[in-house]
Structure 1
Amino acid sequence: MGVTGGSTADVVDAHATVSYPDIARVIQLYDSLAVYNANYEVEFALAESIQPSLDARAWTIRLKSGLEFHSGKPVTADDVVYTLRRIVDPAAPKNAAQALSAVDPNNIQILDSLTLQLNLKRPDVTLPEALAVYDTGIVPVGYDPRHPVGTGPFTYSSFTPGQQSVFLRNNHYWRPGEPYVDQVTIIDYPDDTTRVNALLAGKLDAIDQLPIGQVDTITPRPDLHVLESQTGAWIPFTMRVDTPPFNDQRVRQAFRLVVDRDQMVHQVLGSHGVAANDLYARYDPAYLSTAPQRHQDITEAKNLLKQAGHESLTVELVTAPVATGLVESAHLFAQQAAAAGITVHVREVDPGVFYGDNYLKWPFAQDFYLTRNYLLQTEAGTLPGSPFNETHWNDPTYTSLVTRARATVDQNTRTNLLHQAQQIEYDRGGYIIWSFLNQIGAHTTKLHGFVPHRSGIPLSGYEFRRAWFSG
Structure 2
Amino acid sequence: MNHSSLGSRLPGLARRGFIIGTGATALALAAGCGTGGSAPGAKDDGAAGGTPKRGGRLRAAFAGGGANETLDPHSASLFVDAARAKALFDKLADFGADLSPLPRLAARWEPNAALDSWRITLRKAAFHDGRPVTAEDVLYSYRRIADPKQAFRAQAALEPIDLGASRAVNASTVEFKLKRPYAEFPNTLAAFGAYIVPKDADTFDRPVGSGPFSFVSFKPGSSLLVKRNAAYWDGAPHLDELEFVVASEESARVGALLGGQVEYAHELNPATARAHEGQGKITVVRLRNSAMQGFVMKTDRPPFDDKRVRQAFFLIADRKELVDGSLSGAGEIGNDLFGKGSQYYAAGLPQRTQDLKRARALLREAGAEGLKVTLDTAPVATGFIEAAGIFKEQAAKAGVTVDVKVGNKDTYWKDILTSGTFASYRSGPMPIESHVSQRLLTGSPTNATHWRHKDFDELYQQIQSTRDDKQRAALYDRMQRRLHNEGGFLIWGFADWIVATAPKVRGVAKEAPANTLDWARFDKIWLA
Match for 1:442: what amino acid?
A
1:309–1:333 Cα change, 3 Å: closer
1:404 aligns with 2:462: yes
What does residue 293 of structure 1 align with?
A: 351
Moved more, 409-418 or 107-116: 409-418
What does residue 58 of structure 1 align with?
A: 117
Select the residue among 90, 95, 107 that pairs with 1:36.
Answer: 95
Alignment partners' CA distance in 2, 1:110 and 1:245: 53
Task: Select the structure with the greater relative contact order (CA < 8 A; seq sep ≥ 6).
Answer: 2
1:458–1:40 Cα change, 3 Å: closer
Select the residue among 210, 214, 217 that pairs with 2:272.
Answer: 214
Per the normalisation by structure 1, the TM-score is 0.84
User: Could you list the per-position Cα deviations for residues 218-238 of structure 1 after superposition, in whole angstroms to 9, with x for gaps in the alignment?
Assistant: 123323111123336412323
1:144–1:325 Cα change, 3 Å: farther
What does residue 512 of structure 2 align with?
A: 454
**Displacement, 1:401?**
0.7
Kept in 1: contact 2:440–2:447 (CA 8 A): yes
1:152 aligns with 2:223: no
1:429 aligns with 2:487: yes
Alignment partners' CA distance in 1, 2:369 and 2:131: 62
- 1:143-292 equivalence runs, <5 A: 143-144=201-202, 147=205, 149-155=208-214, 157-158=217-218, 160=220, 163-169=221-227, 171=229, 173-178=232-237, 180-187=239-246, 189=248, 191-231=249-289, 233-242=291-300, 245-292=303-350
1:444–1:97 Cα change, 3 Å: same
Kept in 2: contact 1:235–1:435 (CA 8 A): yes
Kept in 1: contact 2:330–2:495 (CA 8 A): yes
Match for 1:139: what amino acid?
V
In structure 2, stretches of 5+ residues that fail to align are: 1-59
Select the residue among 72, 75, 79 that pairs with 2:137.
Answer: 79
What does residue 52 of structure 2 align with?
A: none
Match for 2:317: what amino acid?
V
- 1:97-108 equivalence runs, <5 A: 97-108=155-166
2:458 partner SS:
helix
1:39–1:358 Cα change, 3 Å: closer
**Displacement, 1:283?**
3.1
Kept in 1: contact 2:295–2:490 (CA 8 A): yes
Alignment partners' CA distance in 2, 1:6 and 1:337: 39
**Displacement, 1:88?**
4.5
Moved more, 92-101 or 121-130: 92-101
What does residue 115 of structure 1 align with?
A: 173
**Displacement, 1:360?**
4.2
Moved more, 330-339 or 416-425: 330-339
User: Could you list the per-position Cα deviations for residues 32-76 of structure 1 after superposition, in whole angstroms to 9, with x for gaps in the alignment?
Assistant: 1122345655432112222233443332112222411x5655422
Per the normalisation by structure 2, the TM-score is 0.76
1:458–1:383 Cα change, 3 Å: same
Tell me how large the CA RMSD over aligned residues is.
Answer: 3.4
**Displacement, 1:457?**
4.1
Q: How many residues align?
A: 463
1:178 partner SS:
coil
2:161 partner SS:
coil
Moved more, 245-254 or 433-442: 245-254
Seq. identity, %: 30
Alignment partners' CA distance in 2, 1:362 and 1:150: 42
1:47 aligns with 2:106: yes
1:459–1:101 Cα change, 3 Å: closer
Alignment partners' CA distance in 2, 1:186 and 1:387: 34
**Displacement, 1:327?**
4.2
Alignment partners' CA distance in 2, 1:18 and 1:299: 44
Kept in 2: contact 1:98–1:386 (CA 8 A): no
**Displacement, 1:80?**
1.0
